[in-house]
Each structure stands twice: as C-alpha cells, then as structure tokens.
Amino acid sequence: MRTFSSDNPATIMEVCGTHTHELFRTGIRFALPNWVKLISGPGCPVCVTDDKDLAKVILMATNYDLTVITFGDMIKVPTPFGSLASLRSEGKNVQVVYSPVDAVKYAMEHQEETCLFFAVGFETTMPAVAAAIKDRLARNVDNLFFLVNHKRIVPALYALFGSGRVKIDGLLLPGHVSAIIGSKPYEPVLSKYDVPGVVTGFSKDQMLRGINILLKLIVNDKFDVINAYPEVVREEGNKKAQALIESYFEVGGAFWRGFGFIPDSAMVLKKEFSDLDAETQFPVEEPNVSPPPGCRCADVVLGAADPPSCPLFGKTCTLQNPVGPCMVSSEGTCAAWLRYGGAT
C-alpha cells in the first residue's frame, strides 16, 4: 500500500478541460484531502492548438479573401498576426458556429463568398466535422473548404509520459472522447507507464465516483483502466462514429502547444478529398510565431505549471483581456483558476 501526504500528494491529472472546470465549479477540487493533488492535462482543444496553425488561418483569410468559420473560443486567441476577432474588426468576415453543419448552411446561403471552416477538437468533435464534409459533398457546396486540425488524445498521453516532466499517479480520463474511442485504447499507454486511469462522467456524483475508484487503485498500487461512465462509454467506443471519421480522415502528425510535433497525433483529411482541403487550395508560407512574452500556456497544458506561476496570471492576463489560449478558452485551465478562485 502506498502512503501519501501533503508533501508527497497522490497526483491525479484530469485530462479533459471540461473536467477541470466542473471540478472547480462543483467545489470538488476544494473538498479533497490535502494528500490529493489535481493537475490539468492537455485536453482543451483550443489550448493545445499551435499558434502556427491559427496564424496560418489568418494568413489564408488575408491572402485569399476568405470567410473564416469556426468555433467561438478560437476567434479570441491572439497570435503575432493578430486574432480572428481582430481580423473581423478590420472588416474581414469571421463567422462563429456551434455545429460544423452550420458552416455548410452558411456557405450554401452565401455562394458569392469563399469559406474556410477551421475544424479543431479531439475525437469528440470529429464525427460532426465528418458529417459536415459528407453534407458538403452531397450538396455540392463548392465554396466551402476545410482546414482540419483534429487531435488524438492517446498519442498525446504517450508524449506526456515520455516527456518525464510531470509526476502523475493516476488519470481521470475524458468521458466525451471515450464515448467515441472507447476505454480500450488507453490500456497500452497506461500499462506501459504503469499508471491507472478511470473514464469518468461530468456530474458531481460521476466525478466523485471516478476519483474514489482512482484513489483506491493508486493507494493499492494497482494498475487498471476502469470505465466508470458505462452509461455513455463502451469498451470499443462508438463504431458508427469511428466509421464516419475514417471515411474522411486518416492518421497524420501535428504540432501541439507545449509538446511540439507528435507523430500520429492528428486526424487529417484523406488525400482523395484534397479538393476541399484548405491547406492544398490556399497555400501560405509557414508562419514564424512565438508565444506572448511571459505566457506559460506551453507548461500549463502539460500540467507542468499551475496558472498562478505565470507572471501574467490575473494581472495582464484576465478573463476580460486574455493573453494566452488557456485563459481564452471556456475549457482552459487558467480561465478555471481565475473564475473559481484558484485554490489548490
């Protein structure tokens, strides 16, 4: 049996940004004993999107006079080339949608515009983007193109453990992503690093149940991957959604904030769909970007730094005037710490 103390706490990483916010909002984070430490992982899609990829969208929109369509949080993320919001204030057309099929609808209703849908997100979002591509092809919406920036969580976990930068005793695994991929894909990576994991839902009861199971595994020094969200997650995941994803996307590599390049960590458009791939249709030079001075988002997404260790936290970087994506995003760790008081 392992023993822990406030000096040597059992460290649980919640991989998913929604868990980060819900653990704060429900007060669970504040109620845990001092021998348990929660740290946040790389599960916020806006936060892990590399500045280079966002800068590319801005350059494409500028160079080719495109209408950019994307999800809400993405438009406020600053880059050295400005943000999509600043582009909009300069008169460019930037549209926010809640669902990828709305991008198809917008492009159909605005045939005179050339539209680019910037698709970000983990496996949770991929089926909806695949459905939008299917819809676009079925309706011949030739003025809509896709810049696909989808990320896969399991290769990021390999990179996270491989980096050796963070001590992790157990993982609270993301319920939404697991609904698509299942609980099984976590087993090889967690078994390699001998770290237990529990797939967990998002209600107060579900999170408490997940943490309880995980702490028992950690204290008893037992490795296992447990699905504590069986009402939504199956071991094999959602086969129908997986088939839809595989119809349009294939595995590729991607740059991640905090990690750099991770092979096989992305789903990219299949070559046969290159005529709707913005990357092919609107080539731009690889932008040279660096993060805002002082911003520690690259460490925050790895769980290697808590937000208050950033010199900008709550000073020049606030919810009203965010400097980095971890403050911009509604799933961002810095936003959660500032919104809910930031206790450990």
Interface residues toward ligand SF4, by CB under 6 A: 295-297, 300, 307, 310, 312-313, 317, 323-324, 326-327, 334
Q: Which is nearer to ligand SF4, 40 or 183 (CB)?
A: 40
Residue 64 corresponds to which tokens in the numbers above? 């080719």
* CA 106/CA 113 separation, integer angstroms: 10
Q: Which is nearer to ligand SF4, 242 or 330 (CB)?
A: 330
Taking the complex as a whole, the smallest distance from the CB of residue 215 to ligand SF4 amounts, in Å, to 28
Residue with nearest beta carbon to ligand SF4: 324
- Ramachandran angles phi, psi of 65, nearest 5°: 50, 55
Taking the complex as a whole, the smallest distance from the CB of residue 45 to ligand SF4 amounts, in Å, to 15
Burial degree of 271 (CB within 10 A; 0-12, 13-18, 19+): exposed
Q: Which is nearer to ligand SF4, 32 or 77 (CB)?
A: 77
Taking the complex as a whole, the smallest distance from the CB of residue 296 to ligand SF4 amounts, in Å, to 4
* CA 228/CA 223 separation, integer angstroms: 15
Q: Which is nearer to ligand SF4, 40 or 178 (CB)?
A: 40
Taking the complex as a whole, the smallest distance from the CB of residue 101 to ligand SF4 amounts, in Å, to 31
Taking the complex as a whole, the smallest distance from the CB of residue 207 to ligand SF4 amounts, in Å, to 23
| E strand or H helix that includes residue 262 | strand 260-269
Residue 185 corresponds to which tokens in the numbers above? 């894909």
Taking the complex as a whole, the smallest distance from the CB of residue 235 to ligand SF4 amounts, in Å, to 36
Q: Which is nearer to ligand SF4, 180 or 327 (CB)?
A: 327
Q: In the block, which residue shows the tokens 């990829």?
A: 53
Nearest to 63 by CA among 89, 28, 92: 92
Residue 221 corresponds to which tokens in the numbers above? 């020094």
* CA 311/CA 326 separation, integer angstroms: 14
Q: Which is nearer to ligand SF4, 55 or 310 (CB)?
A: 310
Residue 295 corresponds to which tokens in the numbers above? 């911003």
Taking the complex as a whole, the smallest distance from the CB of residue 195 to ligand SF4 amounts, in Å, to 25
* CA 327/CA 63 separation, integer angstroms: 29
Q: Which is nearer to ligand SF4, 147 or 301 (CB)?
A: 301
- Ramachandran angles phi, psi of 110, nearest 5°: -135, 65
11, β-bridge pairs = 37
